[in-house]
Amino acid sequence: MAILDGGPTQPVSTVTSASDRRSPAYDFWRRFSRNKLAVLGLCFLVFLILTALFAPLIAPFEPRDRGDVFRGGPSRHNYFGTDIIGRDVFSRVVYGARVSLKIGIGATTIALVIGVVFGAIAGFFGGWIDTLLMRVTDIFLAIPYIVLAVAIASVFGRSENSIVLVLGVTGWLGVSRIVRSSLLSLKELEYVEAARSLGFSRTRIITRHILPNALEPIVAFGAITVGSAILAEAALSFLGVGPQDPTPAWGLMIFQGRGDLADAPHLVLFPGLAISLTVLSFQLIGDGLRDALDPKQR
């Protein structure tokens, strides 16, 4: 048998490399995890969500139960002390996570829906429609945010649902401008022209061809907006137009303890620390999402 001088031939590998098999979700997580601060913020958010879900198991007392010690400092029995009527501050901070997440996520959802609709219509159609919608946005921007929120809250009341509505109705301005600017550039691309030439309706072009490619800044902005909504709820509560007592809202707890700051600083310290860490975590997550979704990082 003749032996070829070239030696045995190597079989052609048909196995794709590991990088070719990576899913988009894996690539996204790999880029997101590079930002250690964003991962830290995500870990705190997971901790906060678990705290809200299992609040009855974590809190030693009901948030409305009154004890015998008034304005007591932190102790083995009351980890964060007690408030002016004897309620356990730790239990109220734990249950307050539910209120803050409900208000932050609910208000952000409303703001994103309104902002995406306004921005998509203005950016896609342009012309007098764009001018009209942007002038409406400018009018809202010209009114001081707190004044507008206080006015709306005074009309709709001070319940949690009312605050969600107030913050959602007043928080859509930024996202509408982001969506509008994205659509102004995306609608001129070739795949949009191809969709038009195929006879697709404007609604389908916007919802199925343009908006999916504009989600990157919307997602990052949405994460930051949740933290801003939680901070805005605290500001409204401090002004006396937030959720009413005995709701265990962090901003309301600060409002109630502001007069005893010198004698009982724990009444402001612990809910204030909870607000600061929560808002910071959403800001860090928003920065991580922005970097992970940036096409230049891919």
CATH at 236: 1.10.3720.10
Residue 86 counted as domain residue: no
Mean pLDDT of the 208-220 span: 80
Residue 56 counted as domain residue: no
Can you tell me the distance from the alpha carbon of 211 to that of 205, in angstroms, rounded to the nearest whole number? 9
Domain count, the chain: 1
Residue 48 counted as domain residue: no
Residue 142 has pLDDT above 60, yes or no: yes
Residue 240 counted as domain residue: yes
Can you tell me the distance from the alpha carbon of 152 to that of 107, in angstroms, rounded to the nearest whole number? 14
Can you tell me the distance from the alpha carbon of 280 to that of 37, in angstroms, rounded to the nearest whole number? 10
92 Cβ contact list (under 8 Å, min separation 6)? 63, 83, 248, 253, 271
Can you tell me the distance from the alpha carbon of 98 to that of 78, in angstroms, rounded to the nearest whole number? 20
pLDDT at res. 215: 79
Q: 250 vs 67, which has greater pLDDT?
A: 250
pLDDT at res. 279: 93
In sequence order, what DSSP letters do the residues of 51-95 get, joined into one string? HHHTHHHH-SS-TT---S-SSPPP-SSSTT-B-TTS-BHHHHHHH
Question: Rounded to 5 degrees, what angle do the CA atoms 155, 114, 280 make?
Answer: 85
Residue 189 has pLDDT above 50, yes or no: yes
Q: 280 vs 189, which has greater pLDDT?
A: 280
Nearest alpha-carbon partner for 246 in 154, 160, 146: 160
pLDDT at res. 277: 94
Residue 149 has pLDDT above 80, yes or no: no
Residue 181 has pLDDT above 60, yes or no: yes
Q: 9 vs 242, which has greater pLDDT?
A: 242
pLDDT at res. 66: 85
Nearest alpha-carbon partner for 83 in 275, 270, 278: 270
Residue 242 counted as domain residue: yes
Backbone φ and ψ for 88, nearest 5 degrees, come out as -70, 120
Average pLDDT, the chain: 82
Residue 32 counted as domain residue: no
Residue 169 has pLDDT above 60, yes or no: yes
Mean pLDDT of the 225-252 span: 85
28-32, 55-59, 228-232, 238-242: least confident range: 238-242
**Confidence band (pLDDT; 50, 70, 90) for 213?**
confident
Residue 148 has pLDDT above 50, yes or no: yes
Mean pLDDT of the 104-118 span: 91
73-77, 133-137, 191-195, 218-222: least confident range: 191-195
117 exposure class (CB count in 10 Å sphere: 0-12, 13-18, 19+)? middle
Rg from Cα positions in the chain: 26
**Confidence band (pLDDT; 50, 70, 90) for 276?**
very high
17 Cβ contact list (under 8 Å, min separation 6)? none
**Confidence band (pLDDT; 50, 70, 90) for 275?**
very high
Residue 266 has pLDDT above 80, yes or no: yes
Can you tell me the distance from the alpha carbon of 277 to that of 138, in angstroms, rounded to the nearest whole number? 32
**Confidence band (pLDDT; 50, 70, 90) for 278?**
very high
Per the structure, the complete domain to which residue 192 belongs is given by 70-76+97-297
Residue 5 has pLDDT above 50, yes or no: no
pLDDT at res. 298: 55
Say whether pTM exceeds 0.85: no
